[in-house]
Chain A
Amino acid sequence: MDSKTLRYIVKRIILAIVTLWAVITITFFVMHAVPGGPFTREKAISAEAQASLEAKYGLDKPLFEQYTTYLNDALHGNFGPSIKQRGRMVTDVIIDGMRTSAKIGLIALVIATSFGILFGAVAALRRNTLLDKVIMVMTTAFVSMPSFIMGSLLLIVVCVTLKLLPANGASEGGLILPVITLALYPMAYITRLTRSSMLDVLGQDYIRTAKAKGVSERMIIVKHALKNSLIPVITYFGPQLAYIVTGSLVVEQIFAVPGIGRYFVNSITGRDYTLIMGTTIVLAALIVIMNLVSDILYKIVDPRINLE
């Protein structure tokens, strides 16, 4: 690895750290910008009760001190207690929710990537045939439909009308639809990405040389084209994860899946500020780190580096 790449990686890591700091800071100050604080929404409580609650949560201290305390705690993984779910620490709630959500998310990721690459390669090889056109139309459709639309339609068709699968995520087989819903958009995106990248590679001179040597089409694809075509797909890992995270917010609502997305949404409507903050930061951290990893990976395998 040469110095240029190294410099880039260092720059990116610094950017990621700064971004994370920005996320925590923004989250903190935004939450505290809400007038009245978290307790005024409750049914009327006496002034003393309010004062003691605020003291308990450290809300009577000056804002900046609260900020540094929070920052310090957050870096140690302590996001404080949940305001609405009495007796539970935010961290515990998050871990609990992540169990289900991570499972769904990972499976969706794997499905999206593998099928996406497959369909994209097929479309590129059978370019301009009916198969290609069909694939392109379908991917355009899936790419344009927001996840909650897909989810809702699937819910109506599969669960309500056809009664094939349960609508409740907690029940048996209830995770199939959420996974499919989450996987559709990234799969369509990866298909298009693979297709255009492969078409690009197939137009290169060295592919023509291989063909002129008498290499069969299959071998050209497998040996010469595939490796180079997959590089853009690597760059998509970060955004893909971001999509799955935000998509899960909606999908878990629709299919009543007890995951972190659902907890997050509920915490928003229920104004559980510590939970909102904690979840935002954890999810944001996940996304930022994934983006960083995929950016670095891309830089390492960039063929232009090899040509130096």
Chain B
Amino acid sequence: MNNNILTGHIDLSSFEPASAQEKEYMVQLRPSTTFFKDGCKRLYKNKVAFVSLIVIVLIIVLSIALPLVWPYSYDRQLGNRPGRPVDPSFNNLRPLEYSLSEQAAIEEGESVFPHLFGTDAAGRDYFIRVVYGTRISLAVGFFASIIVLVIGMTLGSIAGFSGGKVDMVIMRIVDIIYSLPDMLMVILLASVMRESLGPAIDRYAFLRDIGSNIISLFVIFALLYWCSMARLIRGQILSLREQEYVLAAQATGAKSGWIIRKHLIPNCISVIIISTALQIPNAIFTESFLSFLGLGVNAPMPSLGSLASDALNGISSYGYRLAIPAIVISLIVLSLNLFGDGLRDAFDPKLNQ
């Protein structure tokens, strides 16, 4: 717009009053979204969390899909075929090496699927053991978290809704269990459980397949780790009740229920999801820790922790056997943590700027 405004340069019609629409057009309100959509948008923008999510999904998909198509199974000792003499050349193969009989087969023109990570001391394909171990670790982590979620929600809700003596008793128990040094108790219980639960488990074929150690792991988690979830839920319920009274005092009648549902349920759910998402890597870590100490899954079932533990023995010659499960666990736990952090940044209403 030039500086010298002379009458001729201005269109007098510009001085006519502006209509209401023209004024509104100036103000582009940011499109209002629901809490959920807003959070998803923020999560999407967080590249790190997004990449982590992709990594986790990839790992999960691979751990489920690969054992189905892989020619080797995790418990098959390849040198140990029924009816034939034991072939020790299958043992301790380096990545992409072949045993003697396999080499012979190749020379005859057969194609043998390569051992990407070699084989372990018992002649089992290491790659598929790692993949299977990942599956176990993920499954244990996931189910343990679900168990914790269910128990925590139940007890937390009971405490929150009942109030009074029931609430107090439950909270005292929570306090005590919370103060227990969890790892020590876990180790203690783990070392004992498999002995005592053994006979109980053997009765059910389904449970036997899973293995006494994993069952005892679930039992331990159920006993010890539900506390923080219970506290969270109880806290949410208490604040819900407080809001209810406040709103009731304002005599808005039926509207109060709607407001509570609209504002507090998103709060609750996001808190639950975030807490669970951060619990899963914790569970996986505990499981691998126990397996590392020999208290985890039963042989021959592999878990990333037990694979690492077994590999300690041959570490000078077969260092990669320790490094591979170590890296995989780190990747899983790291991605889950980053994703959980991203979830929290996106959905935690308290952290909103």
User: Does the CB pair B196–A34 fall under 8 Å?
Assistant: yes
Q: Which of B252-260, B268-276, B292-300 contacts A (4 or more CB under 8 A)?
A: B292-300
Selected from B185, B285, B330, B337, the residue in CB contact (under 8 A) with A26 is: B185
User: Does the CB pair A23–B312 fall under 8 Å?
Assistant: no
User: Does the CB pair A15–B292 fall under 8 Å?
Assistant: no
User: Does the CB pair B293–A265 fall under 8 Å?
Assistant: yes
Q: Which of A51-59, A106-114, A151-159, A172-180 contacts B (4 or more CB under 8 A)?
A: A151-159
User: Does the CB pair A144–B176 fall under 8 Å?
Assistant: no
Query: For the complex, is B308 an interface residue (Cβ under 8 Å from A)?
Result: yes
Among A105-158, those with CB < 8 Å from B are 140-141, 143-146, 148-149, 152-153, 155-156
Binary interface encoding of chain B residues 84-98 relative to chain A, with 1 for a CB under 8 A from any of its CBs, else 0: 000000000000000
User: Does the CB pair B333–A245 fall under 8 Å?
Assistant: no
Binary interface encoding of chain B residues 14-50 relative to chain A, with 1 for a CB under 8 A from any of its CBs, else 0: 0000000000000000000000000000000000000
Query: For the complex, is B180 an interface residue (Cβ under 8 Å from A)?
Result: yes
Prevailing SS type, chain A contact patch? helix
Selected from A36, A268, A288, the residue in CB contact (under 8 A) with B187 is: A268
Given the complex of chains A and B, what is the CA–CA distance between A268 and B316 in angstroms?
A: 26
User: Does the CB pair B179–A19 fall under 8 Å?
Assistant: yes
Selected from A148, A153, A268, the residue in CB contact (under 8 A) with B289 is: A148
Task: Give the A-B pair count, Cβ closer than 8 A.
Answer: 122
User: Does the CB pair A33–B319 fall under 8 Å?
Assistant: no
Binary interface encoding of chain A residues 28-49 relative to chain B, with 1 for a CB under 8 A from any of its CBs, else 0: 0011011110000000000000
Given the complex of chains A and B, what is the CA–CA distance between A269 and B309 in angstroms?
A: 14
Given contacts A19-B180, A160-B316, A242-B181, A140 and B337 within 8 Å (CB-CB): yes
In whole Å, how far is B140's beta carbon from the nearest beta carbon of chain A?
15
* A residues less than 8 Å from B188 (CB atoms): 26-27, 30-31, 276, 280
Query: For the complex, is B323 an interface residue (Cβ under 8 Å from A)?
Result: yes
Taking CB as reference atom, which chain B residue is nearest A242?
A: B181
Given the complex of chains A and B, what is the CA–CA distance between A35 and B199 in angstroms?
A: 10
Given contacts A35-B195, A254-B312, A145 and B181 within 8 Å (CB-CB): no
Query: For the complex, is A291 an interface residue (Cβ under 8 Å from B)?
Result: yes
Query: For the complex, is B315 an interface residue (Cβ under 8 Å from A)?
Result: yes
Given the complex of chains A and B, what is the CA–CA distance between A36 and B196 in angstroms?
A: 10
Taking CB as reference atom, which chain B residue is nearest A32?
A: B192
Taking CB as reference atom, which chain B residue is nearest A264?
A: B187
Query: For the complex, is A71 an interface residue (Cβ under 8 Å from B)?
Result: no
- Most interface-central of B191, B308, B323, B338 (chain A CB within 10 A): B191
- Most interface-central of B181, B183, B294, B337 (chain A CB within 10 A): B181
User: Does the CB pair B180–A23 fall under 8 Å?
Assistant: yes
Binary interface encoding of chain B residues 187-225 relative to chain A, with 1 for a CB under 8 A from any of its CBs, else 0: 111011001100100000000000000000000000000
Given contacts A152-B308, A156-B323, A22 and B176 within 8 Å (CB-CB): yes
Among A241-278, those with CB < 8 Å from B are 242, 245-246, 249-250, 253-254, 264-265, 268-269, 276
In whole Å, how far is B84's beta carbon from the nearest beta carbon of chain A?
35
Selected from A15, A34, A144, the residue in CB contact (under 8 A) with B175 is: A15
Given contacts A144-B330, A276-B191, A280-B188, A15 and B293 within 8 Å (CB-CB): no
* B residues less than 8 Å from A161 (CB atoms): 319
Given contacts A148-B292, A242-B181, A33 and B192 within 8 Å (CB-CB): yes
User: Does the CB pair A146–B333 fall under 8 Å?
Assistant: yes
Q: Which 4 A-B pairs have the closest CB atoms?
A: A246-B183, A144-B334, A287-B181, A19-B179
Provide 20 A-B residue pairs closer than 8 Å at the C-beta atoms, listed in order of the A residue: A23-B180, A34-B195, A36-B195, A144-B337, A146-B329, A146-B333, A148-B288, A155-B322, A156-B323, A161-B319, A242-B183, A246-B181, A246-B184, A249-B187, A283-B181, A283-B184, A284-B181, A284-B185, A287-B181, A288-B181
Supplied contacts A34-B195, A145-B333, A249-B187, 20 more A-B pairs, CB within 8 Å: A19-B180, A23-B184, A27-B188, A34-B196, A144-B337, A145-B330, A146-B289, A146-B333, A152-B312, A153-B323, A153-B326, A242-B181, A242-B183, A246-B183, A246-B184, A249-B293, A264-B187, A280-B188, A284-B185, A288-B181
